[in-house]
Amino acid sequence: MELGTVVFYLVAALVVGSAAMVAFSRNIIYSAFSLLGTFAGVAGIYVFLGADFVAAVQLLIYVGGILVLILFAVMLTHRITDVQITNRTAGIVPGILIVGIFLALLIQTIRETPWAKAKEIVYTPTSAKIGDLFLQSYLLPFELASIVLLAALIGAVVLARKEIKG
Amino acid sequence: MEITLTHFLILGAIVFCLGLFTVLTRRNAISVLMGVELILNSANINYVAFAHYSSGGVDGQIYAIFVIMLAAAEAAVGLAIVLAIFQLFHTIDVGATETLKE
Amino acid sequence: MEHPIQTDYLRWIVLLPLIGAALNGLLGAELQKRIGKWWISLVACAPVIVAFGISVAAFVKLKALAPEERFLIDRAYSWLTVGSLHVDVSFWVDPLSAVMILVVTGIGGLIHIYSTGYMHDDKAYWRYFAFLNLFTFSMLLLVTADSMLLMFIGWEGVGLCSYALIGFWYHDPVNTRAGNKAFIVNRVGDFGFILGIFLIFWTLDKQGHATVVFREIAQNASLFQGQMLWGVPVATLATLFLFLGATGKSAQIPLYVWLPDAMQGPTPVSALIHAATMVTAGVYMIARLNILFSMAPFTLSLVAAVGVATALGAATIALTQTDIKRVLAYSTISQLGYMFLGAGVAAYAPAVFHLMTHAFFKACLFLGSGSVIHAMGGEQDMSKMGGLRKYMPKTFWTFTIAVLAIAGTPFTAGFFSKDEILWQAFSSAHGSVWLWFFALVGAGLTAFYMFRQLFMVFFGESRADHHTQGHLHESPPAMTWPLIILAIGSIVAGYIGLPGVFGPNLFAGWMEPVIAEVHEAEHSAAAEYGLMALSVGVAATGFFIAYLMYYRRTLSPGRFASLAGGLFYRLSYNKYYVDEFYQKLFVEGTLKLAAVGVWIDRYIIDGIVDGSARLTVFISWLEGLFDNYVIDGMVNAVADIIFWSGAKFKKVQTGSINGYLYVVLGAVVLAIIIKLRYAG
């Protein structure tokens, strides 16, 4: 067994385990911190796939931004009733059922599909290429994305403003 | 054994289903948002895996970056909404926000 | 018979009076106002007199021809051609119609002149003469028509004018009722007449000789031999129907009841229409179709029987009547009965001869009575008259001559004609002793009641009141001259028809081409003389009794009247209650039938109509229900279903996001499964 394989499986286990924690944990704080584990694991997966820039971005934004945001929100709304396992509309059982079926379908699909393979797999630094693409082919989406961020920023401020003013 | 594309895809599928499960069963609004993040991440895994194992260059990574950006924006707005709902209902139980129910 | 002479002047005999009638009828009211009555008189009398002139000319022309050739014809206009029927407007003059047109225009002309005096004070002067001319036109059409169809037009026309003239003073409902009665009773007879025409045409048409022209009917008479309909010979059936028409027009039993009532009209009208002309149309018709009648012995016997019964019956009624015109009316009916008696024993020529002489003296009698009424200021009751001899000599003498004639006094016209009929009734192959006997009795009665009238009116003391006595006077010349002429005719006219034993019978000879061969039974001259003496004797007896009763006053009428408890008197005076009988049976019967019809209409027919209306309403009501419950129900049900399903589906909107997600996910899973299974 190669080292790479083992590491992969470890990282994968991290990801899956954290995700499971997020899904099944009763305590919302635990869920939130498990999310941290998930994000980190995913970053590791990216590294595996040779996407260095993306991994860095992942850590920066997801862990540093989104996760913090979520924790803030959890703290701010913590007072009320905690997570409950059963929902009113559908319980765990139907959920597991459906999701299980879905998973099975997906896996089957993935296995049966003849994916096209590249001739050669190279590990190169991607930052330069990504930068080029952002300013050439994907210039428009890039700009639009920045506008979206601006809009989200303003929107979030507007939505949450009342809290401060009262 | 060698790690192939399939492994990554399966990994992505599992994460996706877990995220789906979270969205479906959780009653806490923030938990639902966390589930959404999981789903987005699984999609990203797929993108990057395809980018790596196919001859498409780094386009997949570009997409993944976009997704991350949008996830951030969405998380911000979503949590702002959750806070606003908390202000109004004093609860963030998704079952309680059913004033639109017939 | 084969080659009638074509002329074009005969039509004027008929058309001139028509023109007069049109002028007076359409413009008369104005003309009378602007120009005066004399103009009306001129327009009315001139055509008739001119027509008389033309008739004389035609007569002369005929006389100049050989007897077999005596036919003048004037084909004026081709009228209609329908199927096998072809009718022209044609006028013809043969010996028979020559006699008729002379009588009609001659006596008619005299009566027109008389009327100018009699109707002098009447406001509707023009209307009177318009109708009088119209009547003359119709009568002339009747006697000169060469086909039965054309004759029928004249037949109807005289009926119409009779109605118009009887009801001339229409403001009095009694007069209009009389007019109605005349027309309606006539109509019954006309029905028979039409059926007769149809039968004749049909019989001839069946055998290929479709015609209604008299000449051709006579020529093809043999075609009637052996033809049967409903088990009866057609000739008999047709003649019976035609005879029915004759009884209506000529006032025989059973359709005579209109004639006495017709006396409501002006007296000249009674003279012209109801004495001299219209009522003779029936006799003319039988004489015209004598060939056919001779082929139907049953009808002939019936005709004779009806004739003699009418003659006797009417005479018995005339015995007791007190209205001067009523007596004359029943006398007319009675004399017509004699004419039919003559026709019924196949003595057609004597019948027409009596027609001619009767026209003279009856017209004279009527006009004379008109003169009397005029003098009496409108009074017609004989019991209020008397002694008029002194005041009206001309009227008196002419009246007396006419009475002598009608009574059958020897050497008057009436004697010759009536006697000939009595002789034929006795001696003809179709005659019988009984016919002769009853006719004889009738003759006696005739003499009696006529002299009774004469004595009551003109002799003795006047029974009129003083006021009337004050202005008794003779009538103006316009009225007396016709009287004189007619009286002369009453004597002279008879000499052309001398009985066989006296000398040549010019009249019979004249009529010969028209009359078909009739078998003569042979009787001795002695018998004829004997019968003649008997009839004279009977007439003299009648005169004598009347003389005793009403002149000498030695015999009391009252004694006779109270015979059998007054039963005979009452029966006679009340005309045997025939009018009342008819009224009950026919008039009221018809009215009751009409009432039944009304009832049926109101209850049954209207009931059905109402019922169907109600049914329709009911069905609509049902439809309304259907519409309300079923249709609306269905529409409402659709809406309700939508509501209900909507209510059910509303539950899907739980407001629960998790639920929605589940559904979405489930759908996606399903879609993928299906795609995997069935695609590729």
- Ordered by start, the domain boundaries in chain A are 3-89, 124-166
Is there a contact between B58 and A76 if contact means CB atoms under 8 Å apart?
no
In which element (H, E) is residue C310 found? helix C297-318
What are the structure tokens assigned to C669, written together?
């899973």
Asked if C461 and C387 count as a contact pair (C-beta separation under 8 A), the reply is yes
Q: In this structure, what token pair is assigned to residue A17?
A: 């385990």
Integer Cα distance of C45 and C98 in angstroms: 20
Residues of C in Cβ contact (< 8 Å) with A105: 669, 672-673, 676
> Looking at the predicted structure, is the pLDDT value of residue A131 above 60?
yes
- Across the interface, whether the CB atoms of C656 and B94 are under 8 A apart is answered yes
pLDDT in tens, C48-99: 888 888 888 888 887 777 666 667 777 777 777 777 777 778 888 888 888 8
10 Å Cβ neighbour count for C643?
10
Is there a contact between C653 and B20 if contact means CB atoms under 8 Å apart? no
Span C360-367, mean pLDDT?
A: 89
Q: Which residue has the higher pLDDT, C228 or C178?
A: C178
- Cross-chain Cβ contact B102/C651 below 8 Å: yes
CATH topology of domain B5-91: Helix Hairpins (1.10.287)
* Residue C577 confidence (pLDDT) above 80: no
Q: What is the pLDDT of residue C58?
A: 83
Report the range of poorest mean pLDDT among A155-159, C390-394, C639-643: C390-394
For residue C6, the cross-strand partners are C73
Q: Does A87 touch chain C (CB under 8 A)?
A: yes
> Torsion-angle region of residue B90: left (phi > 0), alpha (psi -120 to 50) or beta?
left
Q: How far apart are CA C149 and CA C601, in angstroms?
A: 38
Nearest to C458 by CA among C504, C412, C525, C402: C402
Does the structure show a pLDDT above 60 at C502?
A: no
What residue of A is the nearest CA neighbor of C659? A89
Is the pLDDT at C200 greater than 60, yes or no? yes
The answer to whether residue B63 scores a pLDDT higher than 80 is: yes
Cα nearest neighbour of B26 on chain C: C658
Q: How far apart are CA C241 and CA C245, in angstroms?
A: 7
Q: Can you tell me whether residue C513 is helix, strand or coil? A: coil
- Tell me whether residues A73 and B30 touch, CB distance under 8 A: yes
Chain B residues lying within 8 Å of A134, measured CB to CB: 62
Residue B66: C-alpha distances to residues A51, A102, B56, C38, C506 (Å): 14, 26, 17, 137, 154
d(CA C357, CA C416): 9
Q: Is any Cβ of chain A less than 8 angstroms from the Cβ of C659?
A: yes
Q: Is the pLDDT of residue C104 over 60?
A: yes
CA-CA distance, A108 to A113, in Å (whole number)?
9
Residue whose C-alpha is closest to residue C62's, from C14, C94, C104: C94
Is the minimum CB–CB distance between C662 and chain A shorter than 8 Å? yes
Q: Which of C654, C655, C658 sits opposite B24 (nearest CB)?
A: C658
Q: Are C134 and C21 in contact (CB under 8 A)?
A: yes
Better pLDDT: C228 or A8: A8
Chain C residues in contact with A98 by the CB 8 A cut-off are 662, 665-666, 669
Instruction: Tell me chain A's radius of gyration from C-alpha atoms.
Output: 20
Residues of chain B with Cβ-Cβ distance to A86 below 8 Å are 25
Chains contacting B with at least 3 CB pairs below 8 Å? A, C
- Nearest by CB to A89, which of C656, C665, C672? C656
Cβ proximity of C155 and C248 under 8 Å: no
Least confident of C104-113, C364-373, C507-516: C507-516
Task: Check CB contact of A92 with chain C, cutoff 8 Å.
Answer: no
Q: Which residues pair with C90 in a beta bridge?
A: C75
Q: What is the pLDDT of residues A43-92, one digit of tens each?
A: 999 998 888 999 999 999 999 999 999 988 888 876 655 554 433 344 67
Which two structure tokens, joined as six digits, stand for C586?
């026919």
Q: CA-to-CA distance for A85 and C48, rounded, in angstroms?
A: 139
Phi and psi, residue C533, nearest 5°:
-60, -40
Q: According to the model, what pLDDT value does residue A88 have?
A: 39
Residues 598 to 657 of C: which have CB under 8 A from any B CB?
A: 650-651, 653-657
Taking a C-beta distance cutoff of 8 angstroms, is the pair C391, C374 a contact?
A: no
**Whole-angstrom distance, CA of residue C246 vs CA of residue A9:** 145
User: How confident is the model over C590-643, as pLDDT tens digits?
Assistant: 888 888 888 888 888 888 888 889 899 999 998 888 888 888 888 888 998 998
Q: Which of A114-118, C540-544, C636-640 has the lowest mean pLDDT?
A: A114-118
**Which residue in the set B2, B9, B30 is minimally distant from A28, CB to CB?**
B30
Partner-chain residue, chosen from B97, B99, B102, that has the shortest CB–CB distance to C650: B102
Q: Do A98 and C662 touch (CB under 8 A)?
A: yes
In chain B, which among 29-68 make CB contacts under 8 A with chain A?
A: 30-31, 33-35, 37-38, 41, 44-45, 48-49, 51-55, 57-59, 61-62, 64-66, 68
C667 touches chain A (CB under 8 A): no
User: In this structure, are residues A101 and C669 in contact, taking their beta carbons and an 8 Å threshold?
Assistant: yes
Max CA distance (Å), chain C: 153
Give the per-residue pLDDT at A38.
94
Tokens matching residue C164? 């118009």
Statement: residue C506 has pLDDT above 90:
no
> Going by C-beta distance under 8 Å and a sequence separation of 6 or more, which residues neighbour residue A46?
A52, A54, A55, A58, B48
Partner chains of A (3+ C-beta pairs under 8 Å): B, C
CATH architecture of A3-89: Up-down Bundle (1.20)
Contact residues, chain A, for C665 at CB < 8 Å: 98-99, 102
Strands C72-82 and C5-6: parallel
As given in the structure block, the two tokens for residue A128 are 């330069």
The pLDDT of residue B18: 93
> How high is the mean pLDDT of chain C?
81
Partners of residue A28 in chain B, C-beta under 8 Å:
28, 30-31
CA-nearest residue of chain B to A53?
A: B61
Sheet with C85-93, edge to edge strand ranges: C5-6, C72-82, C85-93
Which tokens is C302 given? 């019936």
Residue C542 above 70 pLDDT? yes
Residues of chain B in Cβ contact (below 8 Å) with chain C? 20, 23-25, 27, 32, 94-95, 97-102
> What pLDDT does A9 receive?
92
Those residues whose C-beta lies under 8 Å from the C-beta of residue A2, and which sit 6 or more positions away, are: none
Cα–Cα distance list, C29 to A109, C20, C32, C40, C42 (Å):
125, 14, 5, 9, 15
Question: CB–CB of C662 and B32 under 8 A?
Answer: no
Q: For residue A62, which residues of chain B lie inside 8 Å, CB to CB?
A: 37, 41, 68, 71-72
Instruction: Measure A149 CA to nearest chain B CA, in Å.
Output: 6
Number of CB pairs, chain B paired with chain C, less than 8 A apart: 30
Minimum mean pLDDT range among A115-129, B53-67, C594-608, C664-678 = A115-129
What tokens were used for C360? 């003279």
Number of C-beta neighbours around residue C69 at 10 A: 15
* pLDDT surpassing 70 at residue C507: no
Structure tokens at C377: 């200021």
Cα dist from B81 to A73, A75, B40, C288, C673, whole Å: 10, 15, 19, 132, 36
Q: Pull the structure tokens for residue C494.
A: 């008879």
Lowest mean pLDDT, pick from A20-34, A79-93, B5-19, C124-138: A79-93
- Give contacts of A99 with chain C, Cβ < 8 Å: 665
The residue of chain C nearest to residue B17, with distances taken between CA atoms, is: C665
**Side chain identity at residue B35, one-letter code:** G
Could you give phi then psi for residue A33, rounded to 5 degrees? -75, -25
Query: What is the dihedral sign for C-alpha C168, C173, C177, C183?
Result: positive
Residue C400 has a CB neighbour count (10 Å cut-off) of 16
The span from the CA of C294 to the CA of C429, in Å, is 11
| Cβ atoms of residues C227 and C313 within 8 Å | no
Q: Are C176 and C184 in contact (CB under 8 A)?
A: no
Residues of A in contact with C666 (CB under 8 A): 98
Which chain A residues touch B36 with a CB distance below 8 Å?
Answer: none
In angstroms, the CA C392 to CA C371 distance is 9
Instruction: Over range B59-66, report the average pLDDT.
Output: 92
* Residue carrying the six token digits 């009221």: C588
| pLDDT (0 to 100) of residue C385 | 79
pLDDT of residue C121: 81
Closest residue in A to C656 (Cα) is: A89
Mutation for C interface: B18, B23, B27, B33, most C CBs within 10 A: B23
Confidence of residue C342 (pLDDT cuts 50, 70, 90): confident
DSSP state of C381: B
Looking at CA atoms only, how far is residue C665 from chain A in angstroms? 8
Report the share of chain B in percent with pLDDT over 90: 45
Q: Report strand pairing: C85-93 vs C228-229.
A: unpaired
Selecting from C659, C665, C672 the residue whose C-beta is nearest the C-beta of A98 gives C665
pLDDT of residue A80: 53
Chains A, B: CB contacts under 8 A, how many? 236
Secondary structure of residue C85 in the 3-state scheme = strand
Distance CA A74, CA A80 (A): 10
* Closest by CA position to C676, among listed B45, B5, A107, B9: A107
Report yes or no: B95 at the A interface, CB cutoff 8 Å. Answer: yes
Task: List all residues 6 or more positions away from C25 whose beta carbon is below 8 Å from its beta carbon.
Answer: C126, C127, C130, C131, C134
Chain A residue closest to C658 (CA)? A89
**Minimal Cβ distance to B52: which of A50, A58, A70:** A50
Q: Which two tokens stand for residue A129?
A: 């290429």
User: What sections of chain A are H helices per DSSP?
Assistant: 3-24, 28-48, 52-57, 67-76, 92-112, 127-135, 139-165
Share of chain C above pLDDT 70, in %: 89
The least confident of B90-99, C23-32, C180-189 is B90-99
Q: Over pLDDT 70: what percentage of chain A?
A: 87
> A71 to chain B: nearest residue by CA?
B30
| Neighbour-count burial of B74, counting CB atoms closer than 10 A to its CB (0-12 exposed, 13-18 middle, 19+ buried) | middle
Q: What is the pLDDT of residue C17?
A: 86
Average pLDDT score over residue span A154-161: 83
